[in-house]
Amino acid sequence: MSVPGGDAARTGGDTRFKRLDAAMRRQQYRADALLEVLHAAQELFGFLPEQVLAHVARGLALPLSRVYGVASFYNLFRLAPRGRHDCTVCLGTACWVAGGRDLLAGLEEAHGAGPHQTTPDGQLSVGVVRCIGTCGLAPVAILDGEIAGGQTRDSLLRRVKGWRAP
């Protein structure tokens, strides 16, 4: 194990860190695998908390600034936790022309969460993506990873509604 010691204390026995270590080991702790490692970390933790970034920095022997710099540069890496459910609206050109903006406005009006925001109850995060390449179905929303095409303000709100029920 080339990761410096004291990890058990630092990570409080969280097994996800063990799996993150395994992911780094698979990449032979190479600095150029930073994006792959961050992808793996986000998959494990749901987002990239500072503790995880520090862990990755130690593992790959990189300055934390470099790890944070990369994590904050790319749109898909999240530095804050997301809600339990995720509704991402596509704003690629075809979706935008077909009314993607209106979907976002509808979500904001009904749930008070704008792009990249989460409702206070932690149930719903609203995201934006610039084209997922399913333009034939425009406008598209992605509901917890599932692509839903041909959405209207009403149809989308209906699908999201159940998520916020107590």
Report the alpha-carbon distance of residue 47 to residue 52 in Å, rounded. 9
Our CB check for another protein shows the closer of 110 and 137 to be: 137
Report the alpha-carbon distance of residue 102 to residue 151 in Å, rounded. 10
22, 43, 61, 75: which one binds another protein (CB under 8 A): 75
80, 81, 97, 114: which one binds another protein (CB under 8 A): 97
Contact flag: residue 76 with another protein (CB under 8 A): yes
Contact flag: residue 33 with another protein (CB under 8 A): yes
Q: CB-based burial of residue 145 (10 Å sphere; 0-12 exposed, 13-18 middle, 19+ buried)?
A: exposed
Our CB check for another protein shows the closer of 11 and 135 to be: 135
Our CB check for another protein shows the closer of 38 and 113 to be: 38
Letters for 99-128 (x = contact with another protein by CB under 8 A, - = none) are: ------------------------------
Q: CB-based burial of residue 137 (10 Å sphere; 0-12 exposed, 13-18 middle, 19+ buried)?
A: middle
Report the alpha-carbon distance of residue 13 to residue 75 in Å, rounded. 30
Secondary structure letter of residue 165 according to DSSP: -
Secondary structure letter of residue 4 according to DSSP: -
CB of 64 to another protein, least distance (A): 14
Angle at the Cα of 77 from the Cα atoms of 97 and 72, rounded to 5 degrees:
100
Our CB check for another protein shows the closer of 146 and 154 to be: 146
Contact flag: residue 156 with another protein (CB under 8 A): no
Binding residues for another protein, how many (CB under 8 A)? Answer: 38
The interface region with another protein, picked from 11-19, 25-33, 51-59, 106-114 by CB under 8 A, is: 25-33
